[in-house]
Structure 1
Amino acid sequence: MSKRRLIFAGTPEFAASSLQALLAQQSALNIEIVAVYTQPDRKAGRGQKLTASPVKEVALAHDIPVEQPLTFKKSSAEGMVSRETLANYQPDIMVVAAYGLILPLGVLKTPTFGCLNIHASLLPRWRGAAPIHRALLAGDSETGITIMQMDLGLDTGDMLYKVACPITEDDTSESLHDKLAVLGTDAITTVLADLPTYQAKAERQDSSQANYAEKLSKAEGEIDWSQSAATIERQIRGMHPYPSTYTFLADGEQFKRVKVLSALPVNTSQSTDKAPGTVISIGKNAILVACGKAHPEDEQATTLRLTGLQFAGSKPLSAEQVCQGNQLDDGDRFISQGNQ
């Protein structure tokens, strides 16, 4: 049987992991990766040099042709050229993982077996751009990978295969990303090994159970200390390492921006009558800060133990280093400027 011609479309490290796995298993899966599609090179770093995506780097290392179209829209000449180029590869399958470009119906129908998406959630929960972060921010106990047959909707296609992943109390978006990247490679190779069977058993999504994982903004990283410690602790983990959480330290009439890098799980036995944002104590293991109430009817507010901070112009510091460097004092106040 001739090998199925496969096109891979993806951009970040999450997608690169799956591409690596497919390249390593081409013979076992009876596929040939004939081209890789990825976003155009972007400026990055302090020097703002054009930088290739992780997926492009993998493709070039394996001498796979790379395509970087700006659009597939029929309304533009460039989009029509992109469609023609895609069709000329005569793909049997297209695998998509965090590509970042909308695929219109004409593209979805080009491969013989359609387009398969590796999505980092248990659909229909967390459709959209930031499923890993949103699962953490919401306090979900689990997430996972869904292999989906793509249609015109935003992550609305039929589900071919799902695998769950528990979310632990110390998971960050970084650690959860790495776990799901591994699961994603296993899931897509599982489906490709017996694609007709999985497509025949495809399951429609229940859209009444769907929610949307909107792309994160940097503004969402500002900590509102009137929120409960549990909410803030999830925010710190869900936004680490990007876009990261931050606050402002009141210093006379000035406000100094401080990145909040890490915290310990919430100790529900600790409470306080201090105003939200107040530094209660500074120790070698943690910096104790007052937060809001867990429930409106509670008499006292919650507390959060910060373990890593970064002051403007400084390197990241542990709680012990902050304690030794005298950057904070008991009674100092973190301010949420967005609520002023």
Structure 2
Amino acid sequence: MPEGHSVHRITRQFARNFVGHRVEASSPQGRFAAGAAEISGRTMIDARAVGKQMFLEFDDDVWLRVHLGMYGAWDFAGDIRLDATIASANGRMGQTNQRGTILDAPNPDAVVFDADGENSLSSIGAPRRTRVRMAESEKENDALAEFPPPPIGQVRVRLLTENVCADLRGPTACEVRDSAEVEAIVAKLGPDPLLDDSPEAEERFTTVIRKKPTPIGLLLMDQSVVSGIGNVYRAEMLFRANLDPHTPGKLVPEETVRALWHDWAHLLRIGVETGQMMTMDGLEGEEWRQAMANRADRHWVYKREGLPCRVCGTNIVLEEMGARKLYWCPSCQR
């Protein structure tokens, strides 16, 4: 499932390529035909992400809400312009693998291609008129013979401008809402430090955690507690905090809870800037390149079950928590 950094990156691409443009909408598979008809012909005026959910605003108070879920993916095609804030970073969006050419990187030798398919590859700026396939099983860019290209797979909705199209496949949620409904949905979500890193947001996170008897390993995945954290970040943040995943939230020391909030803000910004869920700090040179290229070299515990802990040598444990796989070190995290 795409985690918060991926959804923010996708939304930035919509802001760069769609906002301010008149959009034609269709539903090639037919399941979103009525919703597409409500959107089509309108101008996109905003694109925003809150945690794992994205909201695309059109004129006359029409919004498209999308939650990618486990299998959702956006494919962009056409004359794609990469968002300037991530133009020099490796970049994949959501359930994506994308190959391209870094146009703006100050040091092209620093570009590292992800070998594991976990996150991103490079810029989507070249060649022009390209298709960026953004699904876990599709790993290449294709030059386009025609524009717009024919839909691939079961496309729930296609958004099309004069230069770019975006195809959505396999989302958990895809629905038209108005601003009042969007506000109600967002109000139920926990704070997202990329949108609000204020003391008030930190206090809200800390207060909720410290009241709950629920294990901290479940609370970090609860999107009403904090937005954007998924399975990878959960495991890595708990290890970085030396925290047993089974500890009830109310028993986690306050300073540890606050440190978790700041660590999430730190890791989320790295993820948005680089496209990688890089959770090991202090890497430089070849170590950094290796970690950016291979998941096995950039995580402390995730996907390392049965392997020795990088700190203490104890074998990493795999168990199920909240219907998701949890990786942790029973020695370091106690």
TM superposition score normalised by structure 2: 0.23
Q: Which has the higher contact order (CA 8 A, sep 6+)?
A: 2
Larger Rg: 1
Q: Flag the structure with higher strand content.
A: 1
